[in-house]
Structure 1
Amino acid sequence: MLWTKRKTLYTVLITVFILFLCILKLKGRANYYLKWPAGNSIVIYNRIPKTGSTTFTNAIAYDLYKENGFNVLHVNMTKNRQVMSLPDQYTFINNVTTWTDRLPAFYHGHVAFIDFQRFGVANPIYINIIREPLERLLSHYYFLRYGDNYRVGLKRSRAGNNETFDECYTRSGKDCDMKQMWIQIPYFCGHYHFCGEVGNPEALRMAKQNAMEKYLLVGTTSRMRDMIALLEVTVPNFFKGALQHFDSLDANRAHLRYTKKKIPPNDQTLSMIRRDEVYKMEREFYDFIRDLFDAIFKKATGGSSKAEDLVKMPLQYHFEKIKPL
C-alpha cells in the first residue's frame, strides 16, 4: 500500500517536472522568434534605381555605420533580377534573421518587397524612396547614354547613341517604351505574379497596401532631407545624427550621383505620355506616397514642416494614473 502511494507521488512529480521543462522550452522558443524584430535590429531598404538611392545609401548608411554601431550589407541580385524564387526568399529570410553576428543590420539592394510574414516571421523595418515616374525614366534613359558623375570611367550600354528621348518616343523605341516606367509599383507590390504585369490594377492596389502596412516610411527623392530627419527620430539606433551629418556634406556628396546630360521632352511627347495608362498608374502611386509622407511629416513637426523641428519636438503624450505606486 505504501509503495503504491509512493509510486503515484513519483509519477505526479515526474509529470510536473516534464511539464515545467516543456513550458521553459516553449518560452525560450517564443523569445527566440520575438527577440530580433522587437529590438529594431534589421532595416531593409529595397532601393529603386535612379531615385537617389546611391546618395542615401552612401552618405547615410555607409557614413554612419561605425558611429552608430550597425552593419551594412548589399543584396546583389543575379543578372539584375528584381524578384527571388520562393526557395530563395526562404533562404534570404532565414539568413537575415539568424545571422546574429551581423546584427544590427542595414540591408540594401535592388529587389522587390519580400513579405517575411508569409513565412511565419515578423517583417523587419522596411524603408524606401520613390521619384516622379517620368523624371525617373528620363534619368535612366540618359544615364544609359551619358553615364553619371559617380563612376566616370565606366562605359554605359548605350554610349555613343545620342538619340533624344523625343526621337525615341516618336519611333516607339524600346528604351522609352512605357513598359520601362513600370518599376516602382512592382517594387512595392512584391513577388506575386501579377506585380510584373504592366498596367495590372491589382499590382497598384497591392503596392499601396504594402506601402501603408509593411513599410515604416517611404519618402520621395525631392524630400530626402525630410525623410532623413524622420528616420533619425524614429529609428535612432541606425540614424542618430543623420540630419546634421547630411547637412554638413558638400554639394557633391549630398547629391552623389546625377546623370551628366538630360534633355527635357517637348510638349507633344509630354502630352502623349500623360495620357498613357501606365504613366497614369505610376503617377497615381507616386502621388499617393507623396501625400502619405507629407501627412506624416506635418503631424510629426506639429504643422511647421521644418526638418529641424523634429529633433526638438516635445512628446505629445505622458503617463498618469499609474498603479501600484
Structure 2
Amino acid sequence: MMKNYSGGSLLNNGQTPNHIRERNGRKCTSGGGGLLRVSLRGYGFCMGALFVFCFGSLFYQLNGGPPQILLDIRQYLGMRGKYLWSVRMGGRRPYSPKDRLARHLGSCPHTRKANKGDSTFQDDHQSFATRVLTFPSQVVYNRVGKCGSRTVVMLLKLLAERHHFNLVSSEIHNKTRLSKHEQITLMTQITSIPEPFLYTRHVHFLNFTSFKIEQPVYLNIIRDPINRFLSNYFFRRFGDFRGEQYHLKRTPNMKDEERYLDINVCILENYAECSNPRIFYIIPYFCGQHPKCREPGVWALERAKQNVLENYLLVGILEELEDVLLLLERLLPQYFTGALDIYKGPDYMKMGKLTSTVRKYTPTLEALQVLYHRMSYEYEFYNFIRDQFHLMKRKIGLKSQARPPAFTHEFLHELAIGTPEPLEEDEEMDTALEDANSWPIQM
C-alpha cells in the first residue's frame, strides 16, 4: 500500500483532500442557492397572504364594524381565562363590554351649571374620568311601560330558577322620577342585592357614577312609539283578558266621558292625554332624572342617545323580540340561556294570547299623521335604537329585516299589525304626572 507522507492515504480514485474540500465547497454553494430560491418563494407566498388578509380585514371593517366586537363578545362568553363567568360568582371584576360605543355625540349639550339654590337635584351626567363598567353580575332593566316588559319579567322568573341568579322586580309602577334622596336610596338598595342579580323597575335612567357608586350594566326594550301609545290608551280604559268589569274597579275615578272618549277626537282636538308632554314618554327612560329630560326637545333626545351608547349593553325593539332574546342569550348567557326556547314554547305562547288589550282599534290616517308629527323626537330616538340594534345583529351574524325609517302612508297602515301584543303591565298612574318643578325635595 502506498503511503501518503502528508499524513493521509489516497482516497476516492486518487483524489487528495484538497480536491475533496474543493468539491464540497461547490456543493455547499449549490445548496445555498437552492435555499435562497426556497426562501424567496416562501417570502412571496407570505406577502401574498398578508395582502389578502389586510384587504379582507379592511373589507370587513367597512361592511360590518370594527373587529373589537369580537373581543367584546369573547369577554361576555367567558373566554378570558381567569375571568371565566360563573352564575354563582360573588366577586366583582372589571370588564369593558362595548368599547365601540365609547364614542361621544359631539353636538349634544351635556352640562348644566347649577344656579344658586339648585340643591334639589343632581345633574346625572357630569363629566368623570373614563371608567370601566362592572363585571356583568349586576344588571338593571329599567323597563319602559307598554313595551313588553311583563313578557320579559315572566321569562326572567323562569330563568332565575334555572340559572340561580337573584331576580328583584319592584312592585312600584307609578314613580319613575326620583328626588336626589330617593335616587341614592334606590341605588343603595340595588347594589346591596347579592350577586349575580338582575333588578327591574319602571324608572328613568339612574347614573350611579354621578353619585360615586359603581355603575351596573343596563338593558332595555322599546317599541314603535305610536303602537306603544295606542296600547296604553286602550289598556287604561278597558284592560286586558281579566275583563272590563275588573278594569272599571281598578280605575274608579275615571269618568265615562273620559273612558269612552274616541281616540280620534282626543288626538285631533288636542286633549292633554294625546299631546305633549304626555306622549313624550320613551326618551325620559334613557335621558335620566334631570328635569329637562321630560321636556320634549333636542337636549333630552341627545342625552338619551349618549346614555344608550355609554351605559347600555343592549336596547332591543319589541317588533323583533325573538332576536332580542337571542342576542341576550349570547351577550348574557348566565342570565338568558334558553330564553328563546321558553318564549317559543306552546304553554308560554298560549299565556301571551290571553293577555292582549281589549277593544283596541287603529285611529284614522289623519289622526295618525298628527300624532306622528307630535312624536317626532320619539321616532328619531326609536329609529336610532333600531339602527343600533340592527348593527349589533349584523356583528353577531343575524340578518336584519329593516322597516321604513321615514313617515309613509304604508308605514302607518302597518301599525295595527306590525307589533305582536306582549303581556300588558300597568303604566304610570296620573298621580305621578305632577309638574316637573314640584317633585324634588330638599336634602
Instruction: Please indicate, yes or no, whether the TM-score normalized by the shorter chain is above 0.5.
Output: yes
Determine which of 66, 73, 79 is the counterpart of 2:168. 73
> What is the alpha-carbon distance in structure 2 between the residues aligned to residue 145 and residue 186 of structure 1?
24
* Corresponding position of 2:268: 170
User: CA offsets, 1:146-193, max 9 Å, x none?
Assistant: 111267734343485222210222332222223221111001000112
SS in 2 for 1:179: coil
* Corresponding position of 2:340: 243
After TM superposition, the score normalised by the length of structure 1 is 0.76
Matched, 1:258 2:353: no
Q: CA deviation at 1:201?
A: 1.3
> What is the alpha-carbon distance in structure 2 between the residues aligned to residue 34 and residue 293 of structure 1?
27
Mean Cα deviation higher: 159-168 or 188-197: 159-168
* Corresponding position of 1:9: none
> What is the alpha-carbon distance in structure 2 between the residues aligned to residue 162 and residue 205 of structure 1?
37
> What is the alpha-carbon distance in structure 1 between the residues aligned to residue 353 and residue 283 of structure 2?
25
User: CA offsets, 1:265-307, max 9 Å, x none?
Assistant: 112112222333xx11100000100111011012102x5459x
SS in 1 for 2:272: coil
Determine which of 208, 213, 228 is the counterpart of 1:121. 213
Determine which of 295, 307, 315 is the counterpart of 1:218. 315
| One-letter identity of the residue aligned with 1:52 | G
SS in 1 for 2:218: strand
Change (3 A) 1:254 1:143: closer
The answer as to whether partners of 1:147 and 1:260 remain within 8 angstroms in 2 is yes
* Corresponding position of 1:132: 224
| One-letter identity of the residue aligned with 1:63 | L
Q: CA deviation at 1:54?
A: 0.7
Q: CA deviation at 1:73?
A: 1.1
| One-letter identity of the residue aligned with 2:180 | L
User: CA offsets, 1:171-221, max 9 Å, x none?
Assistant: 322222232211110010001121012x12110000011111110000111
Mean Cα deviation higher: 221-230 or 254-263: 254-263
The answer as to whether partners of 1:150 and 1:258 remain within 8 angstroms in 2 is no
Length, aligned pairs only: 268
Written as runs of structure 1 = structure 2, the 5 A alignment for 1:149-298 is: 149=241, 153-155=246-248, 156-157=250-251, 158=254, 160=256, 161-197=259-295, 199-250=296-347, 251-254=349-352, 257-276=355-374, 279-298=375-394
Structure 1: gaps of 5 or more residues? 1-30, 307-325
After TM superposition, the score normalised by the length of structure 2 is 0.56
Change (3 A) 1:210 1:39: closer
User: CA offsets, 1:213-236, max 9 Å, x none?
Assistant: 110000111111111110111111
Which one has the bigger helix percentage? 1
Identity of aligned residues (%): 33
SS in 1 for 2:277: helix
Change (3 A) 1:32 1:244: closer
Structure 2: gaps of 5 or more residues? 1-89, 96-132, 402-443
TM superposition outliers: structure 1 runs of 4+ over 6 Å: none
Q: CA deviation at 1:95?
A: 2.2
The answer as to whether partners of 1:77 and 1:111 remain within 8 angstroms in 2 is no
> What is the alpha-carbon distance in structure 2 between the residues aligned to residue 129 and residue 66 of structure 1?
23
> What is the alpha-carbon distance in structure 2 between the residues aligned to residue 115 and residue 246 of structure 1?
31
Matched, 1:146 2:238: yes
> What is the alpha-carbon distance in structure 1 between the residues aligned to residue 197 and residue 243 of structure 2?
26
* Corresponding position of 2:179: 85
User: CA offsets, 1:57-77, max 9 Å, x none?
Assistant: 11x111111111012112244
Change (3 A) 1:268 1:305: closer
